[in-house]
Every structure is written in C-alpha cells, then in structure tokens.
Amino acid sequence: MKVLVTGGCGFLGSHVCEFYRKRGDEVIAYDNMTKHELARTGYATEQARRYNADFLRSIGATIIEEDIRDYERLLRATQGCDFLVHTAAQPAMTISLEDVDLDFSTNVTGTLHVLKAARHYRIPLVSCSSVHVYGNQINNTLQEQATRFTAEPQDIDEAYPTMRGLLTPLHASKHSAESYVQAFIDSYEVEAANFRLTGFYGPRQFGGEDHGWVANFCIRAALGWPITIFGTDKQVRDILYVQDVVNAIHAFYEQRKPGTYNIGGGYAHAISLKECLDIISHTLKKSLDIQMQPARKGDLWYFVCNSAKAEHALGWTPHVSPATGIEKLLTWIQENRTCFQENNKANASSTEHAKGGVQV
C-alpha cells in the first residue's frame, strides 16, 4: 500500500507515517516545513523543525517538501497512492487572528486541494479537524459543572451545535474545511471522514503556548521553566495519546464509513490541569514552578468528547491512559533536551509561556 500524509513531518503526521512504515507500506510525507508555530516557542527552532523529518528519513519514508496550496504539485505527488491522510493545518488561534489569509489558504484551500486529489484518484481520505468547530459558548452551559465537579457532567457528541460563542478565523476555517469534506462525500461519493480531534499529545510534539498544552506543560516542567495557569487549575479536558489517534485513522481506512467523527478520550481520559501537573510532578519526582494569572476571555473550562459514533462505526476506542502517555512524552523530552534549550534564559525569566487555559 502507498500512503500520502500531508503535514507528514509534523507531530501527528510523523506518527501516521511511522505506523504505515512499520507495516511495510510505502509512505510519502508531504510537508512545506513551515515554522510558524515553532518560531513562537523559544525552542531551538531549526533543530526542532528538522527532528521529525530526520526521523522519517531514517525509517525509509519519502519526504516531498511542497505546499498543499499548490494543487498541481499535490496532485502529482498523490498519483499511485491508496490512502490520503490530511494532517497539514494552521492550528493556532493566535496565528489565525494575526494572519487570516494564511489561516484560510492553509485550512480551507489546502483541504479543498486534498479533497480534489482524493476524488481524482478515487482514494479514501481522513481529514483531521478539531473540536474547535464547537466554538466556546459551551462555557455558558458546562463551566459550572466543571467548577463544581457535578456527578453527571455532559460530554459532547457530533450532534452538539457548532460555531457558537466568540469565534475566531480558526473556528471559521476549521468549520469551512469540514463543510467541504461533507460536500465531497455527498456530491462526489468520496470515501472521506472529518476527524474532530480533542487535545492530543505524545513524543515528537513541540508544544508551545499556541498549541499542544500537555506537551508544553511537560517540556517546561522537564526543563525547569515556569508554568502559568490562567484562572484555575480545575479546568477539565479529555486528552488523547497520539497512537490512539493513529489507530483511529487506520480504523477508517479499514471500515470506509464516511462522515464526521469525534475522536477523543472521553471520561476515562478526562483530566484537570491540576491532575495533569500532578502526574508530571510525580513522574519527574520534583516540584513544579507554577504561577497563577487571571482568567482569559475565550478559554474553555470544560470539554469532554463523546466518541461513541467512532466506536460503533469504526470499532475504535482509545487505550493509553493519561498517566502512561504523559510518562512516555516526558521520557522523550528528557532524551531530546537540546531541541528545546536555544532560548532557555529568556524562557525561564518570563511568566507568560504556558497555556493554562484550554481554548476552543
């Protein structure tokens, strides 16, 4: 089998590539090697951006350094492929606010190009979306539950209203991309799926204040940098280890049931910020430098995915617990400290680095 992964040198994309290479499949990592998110982290940007590409070359994946916004090049690269996995994206809310053209062209035009390629060659496609599409009005109905830890909190399934609350260009681009995926399913019978991913994490994730909060907490803790919590550490989110996401992607390839799916950890993988920090502290066997700041407008205080549809249609459930997954992530960070330490002094002296509020 031949698989093309857009954003293949990114965090999730690299794990998808690794999965199919271990099966003996031919893998193409299609990536423009942008550094937009990494440039903000204070990490060793060049080394961090090369890390996944170097890893993929070492396991025999082919890397094509091109952009999904160039349709003709993407179409040529997709020829002969049996499966398309679309992980390339502009993922950060802050960047979407600063550069709306970049956000739109990457998340909407790029997704349209991937859909056209899948239609042209009649191959199945998974397009990675986000729970961002639900918006943040969810705070109005669920925030009190999260604060009180009520006995029967609500989880969110695919029927829950989308695009509610204070919206940003990122909300708009993610939702628009989903609409195009559904349009190609309905109009052209493309075997495609929207995967609404909750917060996922794992090794090879260079999480920063704009994205990847679990990894950001772990990196900062391992390096002894301060961690800032905005509002309260009782904010709750279900999280998902990266290998469980990869397994969901392959489950769609095997089942071929088009549609939109929540892909999240659910109650069993729901965790408060405090619980996450406690796991990190226990694993590292040290106290953490945690700084509290006022709550920020737009942060999501409670979100738990209901992924029953994916379980029933695709036969998929998550397996890796937060404690196990966080330990694996911390081990990787400690083995690759040089990828993060370029601006160590600047990071250690600042108080506004770690995203304690979890945004949708």
Q: Which residues contact 222 (CB under 8 A, 6 or more apart)?
A: 284, 330, 333, 334, 337
CA trace torsion 116, 119, 124, 127 (10° rounding): 20
Q: How far is CA 56 from the centre of its chain?
A: 19
Q: How far apart are CA 112 and CA 178, in angstroms?
A: 10
Question: What is this structure's pTM?
Answer: 0.91
Q: What is the pLDDT of residue 247?
A: 98
Q: Are 201 and 328 in contact (CB under 8 A)?
A: no
What pLDDT, on the 0 to 100 scale, is given for residue 152?
55
Distance CA(269)–CA(150), nearest Å, equals 17
CA 93 → CA 30, 301, 305, 360, distances in Å? 23, 16, 20, 9
Q: How far apart are CA 324 and CA 322, in angstroms?
A: 6
Give, to the nearest 10 degrees, the angle between helix 110-121 and helix 169-188. Answer: 20
Domains of the chain and any CATH numbers: 2-359 (3.40.50.720)
Contacts of 68 (CB under 8 A, 6+ apart): 6, 30, 32, 74, 86, 88, 106, 110, 111, 113, 114
Cα(81)–Cα(124) distance, rounded to whole angstroms?
10
Amino acid letter for position 291: Q
pLDDT recorded at residue 16: 98
Helix (H) or strand (E) holding 151: none
Q: What is the per-residue pLDDT for 139?
A: 59
The pLDDT score that the predictor gives to residue 350 is: 40
C-alpha triplet 91, 97, 100: angle, nearest 5°: 80
Taking the CA atoms of the chain, what radius of gyration do you get in angstroms? Answer: 19
Residues in the chain with pLDDT values less than 70: 35-42, 44-45, 139-153, 209-210, 297-299, 342-360
**Using CB atoms within 10 A of its CB, is residue 284 exposed (0-12), middle (13-18) or buried (19+)?**
middle
Dihedral, CA of residue 326, residue 332, residue 333 and residue 336, to nearest 10: 180
Which pLDDT score, from 0 to 100, does residue 359 have? Answer: 39
Crossing angle of helices 322-335 and 273-284, in 10° steps, is: 50
pLDDT in tens, 141-156: 554 554 544 445 689 9
